Structure 1
Amino acid sequence: MLKVTLEQWRMFKAVVEHGGFNQASAQIHKSQSSIHNAVNKIETALGVKLFRVEGRKTILTAAGELMLRRVEYLLEEAAKVETIGANLAEGIETKLRIAIDEIFPAHLLYRVLDKVSHEFPFLRIELVESVLNGANEQLQNANVDIAVSAFTLEGLFSEELCQIEFLAVASPQHALHQSGRALTLEDLKSHRQIVVRDSAVSKSHDSGWLQASQRWTVSHMRTSIDMIKSGFGFAWLPVPLIEKELQNGELVALNLQSGRTRQAQLHLTFVDGDSLGPAARTFLGELRYQSMIMPTTQNSEVD
């Protein structure tokens, strides 16, 4: 059993905030005797002196200063508990789990998550970054509430979210840039291709592999980008993820006769829209909005 109630701690804090017992009484609409009684009970229960009086000033003792720091944290946590309880009563979820393909522009995703967190400050967000079928597998296994994937799931609600452009690139020093002519897909097969592994376990899928004589398979898109920048191979990479590298010349588009660019359609998938809470619906709405205003990369911008 606790020796001191939250209400007594609130009165103690009010005395500190407002500079004295009289001032606290006027601000929190409690009688001065009630506040004095609350502070006395704390001091008696804990065996410490919280205040000393100097003239007309009520000043914290060293013990009072230490207790104040702890009390402020205690009252903040109590307020959070009450807010979470109110949110639960209103049907607001406490956790949102999302699986999203790594090709979705990260800066847009961060905007969405930030907006959701501002509206629902006590929401815990769990983000699973995946490749190819990985997001849908997470959804099928009930590990997440929402998936953003390049593939649809039969029997579940899926909507087209946005298209991501991929561009065939290599470092400017790569041998593929030295031929002086337009390249064919057959030319590429004699060079190392960097491929990103499907993060799904049960249903993996190789996308974009040309049956090149050499293949390095990695788990993350950023690893692929770093390898290609270093001259270790070529790949089709999502333009939103390499805009900086294209602009500063670390990556250069391959001079292909055809097939230099590819398009991937991302889909937004969830099990049951009616079962999603307010935070999840806010996430969906903001994600749709950010995808809608996402600029379309023009080929002239990456030439």
Structure 2
Amino acid sequence: MEIRHLKLIKAASEEGSLTAAGKKLFLTQSALSHQLKEIETEYGVPLFQRIGKKMILTQAGERVLSSAKIILDEIDKTDIDLKNFSPGDKGILRISTECYTCYHWLSKLLKSYHTQFPNVEMQIVAEATRQPMVYLLEGKLDVAIVSSSELNLVEKHRLKEKKLFTDELVVVASKNNRLTKKSHIRAQDFLEETLFLYTVSNDQLDIFQYFLNPAGVTPKKIIKLQLTEAII
């Protein structure tokens, strides 16, 4: 069964004759008669019964019509959607970051983007937060905001990166903590400190990757929490 057969069944049921259906589909009556014979022969059941000059659907024909309406309607919707998928006009933008704190300021940017492109549906893919690069490469994500991409040769061929800004790494501590009296913090200053971090592996945290590990420093105690509010 092909799309042309579904169009035939729908048009013939609506118009009541192959001649009228042919005018609607811009085909001759003989062409539609041949198509109808094809499908009835293939399944061995009549789809229409002729009462006078009018064509009436059989039970089998009603079943085909039921599916034809759904399928043809979806094809029409898909056709409209694809025509609207010109760059920036309409579509879905899937975005994520590798740091939960980014979501606090990301919403403002998305609001601005929506003002410029109101027909683009934006989806924040929170489950990609810990592995945004993996989701990008698997086609499950369109944009990832990361602190350091470090793309390999294969990834550089498949992805495009753009530097957005420089993010300064700072220490947030109680005003009574000894570190607040320092103008600059060294990795060794954390040897006797309790460090509150997010619940991800240390190799995913910038403070370890770029600050503590190169200096061979491990804080006295590490407590990991899921929420920024809980850490602060």
TM-score (norm 2): 0.50
Distance in 1 (alpha carbons) for counterparts of 2:31 and 2:148: 65
Per the TM alignment, residue 21 of structure 1 is displaced from its structure 2 partner at its CA by 2.5
Could you say what the CA RMSD is over the residues aligned between the two structures, in angstroms?
A: 5.4
Distance in 1 (alpha carbons) for counterparts of 2:138 and 2:33: 53
The answer on whether the counterparts of 1:97 and 1:127 sit within 8 Å (CA) in structure 2 is no
The answer to whether structure 1 residue 68 and structure 2 residue 65 are counterparts is yes
1:94-147 Cα deviation digits (max 9, x unpaired): xx98663253437566987995579xxxxxxx986124xx445777xx556753
Aligned counterpart, 2:215: none
Shift of the 190–101 alpha-carbon distance from structure 1 to 2, 3 Å rule, reads: closer
**Equivalent residue runs for 1:1-303 within 5 Å:** 4-54=1-51, 57-72=54-69, 100-103=97-100, 104-105=102-103, 115=119, 129-131=128-130, 134-135=131-132, 142-143=137-138, 146-151=143-148, 153=150, 157-160=161-164, 183-185=175-177, 193=196, 195-198=198-201, 203-207=203-207, 211=219, 213=221, 215-216=223-224, 224-225=226-227, 234-236=230-232
1:29-88 Cα deviation digits (max 9, x unpaired): 1122322332232112211121234566433222112122334555578789999xx9xx
Shift of the 76–212 alpha-carbon distance from structure 1 to 2, 3 Å rule, reads: farther
- One-letter amino acid matched to 1:159: K
Distance in 1 (alpha carbons) for counterparts of 2:207 and 2:14: 63
Shift of the 66–117 alpha-carbon distance from structure 1 to 2, 3 Å rule, reads: farther
Per the TM alignment, residue 16 of structure 1 is displaced from its structure 2 partner at its CA by 2.8
Distance in 2 (alpha carbons) for counterparts of 1:190 and 1:79: 64
Larger-gyration structure (1/2): 2
Stretches of structure 2 that go unaligned for 5 or more consecutive residues are 84-92, 180-191, 213-217
1:171-209 Cα deviation digits (max 9, x unpaired): xxxxxxxxxxx743469x99883523159xxx5335499
Q: Which has the higher contact order (CA 8 A, sep 6+)?
A: 1
Shift of the 216–102 alpha-carbon distance from structure 1 to 2, 3 Å rule, reads: closer
Distance in 1 (alpha carbons) for counterparts of 2:63 and 2:165: 53
TM-score (norm 1): 0.41
Per the TM alignment, residue 215 of structure 1 is displaced from its structure 2 partner at its CA by 0.7
Shift of the 68–13 alpha-carbon distance from structure 1 to 2, 3 Å rule, reads: same
Distance in 2 (alpha carbons) for counterparts of 1:35 and 1:129: 52
Q: Tell me the SS of whatever aligns to 2:97.
A: strand
The answer on whether the counterparts of 2:8 and 2:36 sit within 8 Å (CA) in structure 1 is yes
Distance in 1 (alpha carbons) for counterparts of 2:52 and 2:147: 73
Aligned length: 183
Shift of the 15–213 alpha-carbon distance from structure 1 to 2, 3 Å rule, reads: same
- One-letter amino acid matched to 1:184: N
Q: Which has the higher helix share?
A: 2
